Structure 1
């Protein structure tokens, strides 16, 4: 059975002090949760989050990393540096990175590879735009993103991977896919992985949904058979709403 996962992507919110306070308030809500619970604060807040989390069940991750291991790349942070800072996972290929910073599938492929080699759990984000969905290109777009990002990966490498399906048209817009729509797309992703890397790999691969996930729609989304959790944006910035999503995951 696949583990439930609730991961908060904080984007460019919360400094170190705010992060420490948030974590301290959240920890009692986590307890000994069977759900994988993680937050990805800004780079500069990772050490504060790690210190505040201590030996709890809360995992701390990053929102991005370099596609290079080291070198003259001003402003970049490597997978090894994230690991040294205490991160255990990293979000890669988010649509905001693809759109605003012109990240390519090839660059994302290199990032995923470095993350796995450094024993960081990569959360690979994929998703289609509103125009692509309207033109019925969703499956074609997702297949291209998956094929490029995971090119030449072995079954073993895919056992250390999480996919997050985030329809671009639903991120930060207040819109969300219906549970049925999300399930249909998640099922396509899982079937694609099964056909490419085998039944066992596809069945154990966690696939998260992202795109305006909040307590009001969380239960219906997480109740779908191929939706294993959520990559949460705005609702992860408040302990009350993030904690409620965790409670929902624990109850299912």
Structure 2
């Protein structure tokens, strides 16, 4: 078994029902692609997006979940509820969640365990800040985040790891190919040591991925796809990235 290629789009707090017209073009591309294509819209759009897709090959996911299956947690949503709406994946530990909501590795690990409990794939995000990168701490930070965020029971079938340097998200800045390759090599080595299926876990890069740099990034060892932000909102921007991954 080899890592499954994945082009994942994170719509963040963007999109509405009118944005569904973008899904048709993405659906056609997903049906023709050899890689998996995933869109993670705001939670309210998951069910209508799944209905729009029907029996098509485009996957739909959530952007966060609570660690509990149900209860008195006003404003939260459980992994089971996301699954019931039609989601197949959940993005967890994104740097914006870590920063804006002070999420810890332990909380992310509990949420990933919840995703597995519900039968969903957990996309666990890791990434260093600019200060940590400049201080030469990147590999230590990423290793600690991986060790702290990965739950027991993680496998290549239920877990994806996304490396997203915080300083590259939405800034237009991208690490050098050597920097990306170094982190992905670390991730592959640590996953292979910890998990029986670690060599087959899908590893994504995220952070200012666009059509102009996608092919170069996907050519790197242990880069199995991308977690794409703004460029996933419009089919015209996302489709070239999917095509580049398909050719890699």
C-alpha distance in structure 2 between counterparts of 1:172 and 1:67, whole Å = 28
Q: How far 1:24 sits from its partner (Å)?
A: 1.6
C-alpha contact 1:236 1:242 (8 A) present in aligned 2:
yes
- CA distances 1:115-164 after superposition (whole Å, capped 9, x unpaired): 0111111100001101111111111111111111125x14x645410000
Q: 1:234 aligns with which of 204, 211, 230?
A: 230
Number of the residue aligned with 2:56: 56
C-alpha distance in structure 2 between counterparts of 1:103 and 1:218, whole Å = 29
Normalising by structure 2, what TM-score? 0.96
Number of the residue aligned with 1:188: 186
- CA distances 1:29-74 after superposition (whole Å, capped 9, x unpaired): 2223210100000011111110111111100001111122211111
C-alpha contact 1:33 1:57 (8 A) present in aligned 2:
no
Q: 1:169 aligns with which of 167, 170, 174?
A: 167
State the SS of the aligned residue for 2:59: strand
Q: How far 1:5 sits from its partner (Å)?
A: 0.7
Which runs of 5 or more residues in structure 1 are unaligned?
none
Number of the residue aligned with 2:109: 109
Q: 2:208 aligns with which of 198, 209, 212?
A: 212
Number of the residue aligned with 1:251: 247
C-alpha distance in structure 1 between counterparts of 2:65 and 2:32, whole Å = 30
Normalising by structure 1, what TM-score? 0.94
Instruction: Say yes or no: does 1:223 pair with 2:219.
Output: yes
Number of the residue aligned with 2:138: 138
Instruction: Say yes or no: does 1:75 pair with 2:71.
Output: no
Instruction: Say yes or no: does 1:36 pair with 2:36.
Output: yes
C-alpha distance in structure 2 between counterparts of 1:2 and 1:106, whole Å = 26
Number of the residue aligned with 1:149: 149
C-alpha contact 1:172 1:233 (8 A) present in aligned 2:
yes
RMSD: 1.3
Instruction: Say yes or no: does 1:126 pair with 2:122.
Output: no
More deviation in 171-180 or 28-37?
Answer: 28-37
- CA distances 1:160-205 after superposition (whole Å, capped 9, x unpaired): 100000000100111011222101110011111122234xx22101
- CA distances 1:195-251 after superposition (whole Å, capped 9, x unpaired): 2234xx221011000000000000000011210000001110110110111111111
C-alpha distance in structure 2 between counterparts of 1:128 and 1:43, whole Å = 27
Number of the residue aligned with 1:99: 99
Q: How many pairs does the alignment contain?
A: 247
